[in-house]
Amino acid sequence: MLGFLKKIFGEGENSKGPMLEDFLEEEEEERTQHPKVTIIVSRVQEPSDLEELMNELYQGNVLILDVKPLLDRDGHEDIIQELKRTAVSLGGFVGVIKDTVLLVTSDSVDIERRG
């Protein structure tokens, strides 16, 4: 019985087979090679706030924006349309999460709707 267990689990550090740590280290190395996507949550107070946030889209990040302060301004439709044009030009998406909160992505993120 002990021989059977040694065959399955190896003989500790003297084992000649691959160690689990070897596989985990490879996975860790692979993971660091892929760029990360950052989710930026922000409340947009001024139209000028969107300039910096749109730069985040060009970097492939995701924006969750509360645009309530913008909705009280004249011309807010143009500001929202500019944000949408930028996202679409990058192959991205703009969606409404709730009344005044938008989800904005670039092409690095796929959105799948369910339900």
**The predicted structure's pLDDT at residue 3:** 57
Per the structure, the count of domains in the chain is 2
The residue with tokens 């799948």 is 112
Do residues 45 and 99 both lie within one domain?
A: yes
**The predicted structure's pLDDT at residue 72:** 84
Do residues 50 and 98 both lie within one domain?
A: yes
Do residues 28 and 71 both lie within one domain?
A: no
Q: Could you read off the pLDDT tens digit of each residue along the chain, which spans 115 residues? A: 555 555 555 555 555 666 666 666 655 555 556 678 899 999 998 888 888 898 999 999 999 999 999 888 888 888 889 889 999 999 999 999 999 999 999 888 888 888 7
Burial class (CB in 10 A: 0-12, 13-18, 19+), 111: exposed
Do residues 55 and 70 both lie within one domain?
A: yes
Alpha helices in 10-109 (DSSP H): 20-33, 49-58, 68-71, 76-89
What pTM does this model have?
Answer: 0.67
Do residues 58 and 101 both lie within one domain?
A: yes
Print the domain residue range for 77.
Answer: 39-105
**The predicted structure's pLDDT at residue 76:** 84
Do residues 52 and 24 both lie within one domain?
A: no
Give a yes or no: residue 59 inside a domain.
Answer: yes
Residue 48 backbone phi and psi in degrees, to 5:
-65, -20
